[in-house]
Amino acid sequence: MWNVLLSFSGLVALIQLIFLPFFPESPPYLLLQKEDKAGCLKAMKQLWGEGNYQTELDDLMKEKAVTKGTKIMNVLEVLREGSVHPQLCTMLLLLLSLQLCGLKIFETANLQESIIPYVSLGVSISELISIIFCSSIIDRFGRRALLCGGYLLMALILVLLETSLLLSGSKCPAGDRFLWLRYCSVILIFLFIIAYGLGP
């Protein structure tokens, strides 16, 4: 039944797609991008009910004044902008390495094929935990602390992961005694995903 479980996210996306046209546009988008003050006020009333939203409108107008000279770029314009190329390359390398490293780790850990679906489920649950946890603590600690702490945790976890893979590998003379470390490797992967979600 894994195919049913994996298709569940597609069902949720389909439901969102069906109901999305019935929701109003975002009030900040209507005011800041489309410059539609009446539409913004109407959207606020649709989303939050009847009331006086002058304070929110004033805040949005201040934000509009601050960002007046700033040009909103689409994806292609961002890709053409030379000043952001180092950041884009860093993000791309990080995302690619995260996508590719899991395959090698699971292969190196010599996990039984029967538990691989549970490992995949565990990875998804780890991502969910990191999203919930990060969104609840980011206001308290700030981005800088979470970034530094996240990178430090990731480095520590990678050292432990490499150690567990070396000790449980087939090339290690004492590898048979440390077979339980294969499961520690999986737990460390989950922790790595949580640390990545908290920081970077």
The answer to whether residues 169 and 108 touch, using CB atoms and an 8 Å cutoff, is yes
Q: Please, what's the b/e burial string for 26-36 (b: 16 or more CB within 10 A of its CB; e: otherwise)? A: ebeebbbeeeb
The per-residue pLDDT for 18 is 92
Are residue 113 and residue 67 in the same domain, yes or no? no
The per-residue pLDDT for 106 is 61
Query: Which of 51, 1, 182 is CA-nearest to residue 106?
Result: 182
Report pTM.
0.50
Are residue 33 and residue 82 in the same domain, yes or no? no
The per-residue pLDDT for 110 is 63
Structural domain boundaries enclosing 132: 76-198
Q: CA neighbours within 13 Å on the CB side: how many for 187? A: 7
Q: How many domains does the chain have?
A: 2
Identity of residue 62: K
The per-residue pLDDT for 98 is 61
Give every residue of the chain whose pLDDT is below 50, as ranges. 175
Q: What is the pLDDT of residues 159-177, one digit of tens each?
A: 898 888 777 765 555 545 6
Are residue 18 and residue 53 in the same domain, yes or no? yes
Are residue 110 and residue 187 in the same domain, yes or no? yes
Domain end among 9, 38, 72? 72
Are residue 81 and residue 67 in the same domain, yes or no? no
Are residue 26 and residue 81 in the same domain, yes or no? no
Are residue 9 and residue 58 in the same domain, yes or no? yes
Separation of alpha carbons 109 and 197, rounded Å: 23
Are residue 124 and residue 192 in the same domain, yes or no? yes
Are residue 67 and residue 83 in the same domain, yes or no? no
Are residue 42 and residue 112 in the same domain, yes or no? no
